[in-house]
Amino acid sequence: MKYSIAASCLFLLLSTCPAYCEERLPAAPERHELESLARNHAYRLLESGRTVTLKDGVFSERGPDGIELSARLAGYAITELNGDGRPDLAAIIEHHVKGRPSEYEISVLYSSGVGFEQTAPVSLGEDITLNRLHTEEARLFMPKRIVVDYQTGSMPDSPAHPAYDKRRDFYLDGGALKDIASMQVVKKPALYLYPEKEMKIDVRLGPKGRIVRTIPAYPGKWSVTVEPGGCIDRRYRYLFYEAALSNPIAQPEEGWCVPKNELRSWMGSRLERLGLNRQEAKDFKAYWMKHLPASKFWIIRLIRPEVVEDQLGLHIQPAPQSLLRIILSFTPSEYLVKLAEPETPRFRRKGFTAVEWGGILGGTAKKDEVR
């Protein structure tokens, strides 16, 4: 799926807050049509399981059970999200069943060949106060996002029941609206190629997700000329890409817990034992020592080869005789975690060899994970 950086946006929060827009607005006729769609669409609701058809932004009806349901359009943003060049619409619906708290849900009406389709709604919570709804453009590691800023908690705020500022970032993945927190990025996989003689090599990537960035450009595949020493097209030492996976990658239980002051020496000794040569290990260490944030400890796990192959498909033609793919997961921790070390079979280079390394930066380890 491609994300367009040159997109259009219109933001409206249906309250006393002023309108906010960061992007070029669509033409007036198109804008009015989309505003009408937002205010008069039939929205599926998550919590109640009902579909409500808004009229001028509101809905009220007593159901067969005699319970009254009311709903309103709390805010919407017009922006291009699915890469087809046509504006889509993100909408927040507040709905309320008498005697219960108000529920807030967000979904996207994305353009299709036959009109607009609604993603499954995502709950934002009960009795919240919306502050801002806007978009943020794609950047390194991140697709274009719909951002919701709101307050949750007791209103009005009080010392006993404080309100909290929250931010949720969402992106469109096919026909699904997903929280950016669920997206996992495999950062800087570097692919080295060592043929026995100069040859033309084709490389195709197949991640279960989206390719974020490549060097050189990747028009569906790389077709490169590689020298025996590994020089690619007389310019590159390795092929580089980053991938945003649709689902979190499976983590093994085994690994290492390394204090921050021992991380450099750990890499210096461990990477070559994992199979990297001196230059590959040097490149790995230079990148990750620069990009890992501060942490007392780092939990490092070696992603199993079968998981790497499943999540990061790779096709090289002609096929290498020896292939090594080292993907490490880094999780910061405030605590020492005792882990069993994984078995690391010795890698032997024979004939045409391909070597890949990369990493995943995870969230902070919880105290109950310490054992």
- State the average pLDDT over residues 138-147: 72
DSSP H or E segment with residue 354: strand 353-361
Residue 114 predicted with pLDDT over 60: yes
Q: Is 349 exposed, middle or buried (0-12, 13-18, 19+ CB in 10 A)?
A: middle
Helix (H, G, I), strand (E, B) or coil at 173: strand
pLDDT tens per residue across span 165-183: 888 989 887 788 988 766 6
Q: What is the pLDDT of residue 139?
A: 59
Q: Cis check for the bond before 305: say yes or no (omega within 30 of 0).
A: no
* Beta-carbon contacts of residue 113 (< 8 Å; ≥ 6 apart): none
Output phi, psi for 251, to 5 deg.
Answer: -105, 135
Report the range of poorest mean pLDDT among 63-67, 155-159, 343-347: 155-159
pLDDT band at 363 (very low <50, low <70, confident <90, very high): low
What pTM was computed for the model? 0.59
Higher pLDDT, 143 or 165: 165
Q: What is the pLDDT of residue 22?
A: 37
Report angle CA 333, 339, 340 to the nearest 5 degrees.
Answer: 160
Mean pLDDT of the chain: 85
Q: 């609604």: which residue's tokens? A: 118
Q: What is the pLDDT of residue 77?
A: 93
pLDDT tens per residue across span 214-244: 999 999 999 999 999 999 999 999 999 988 8
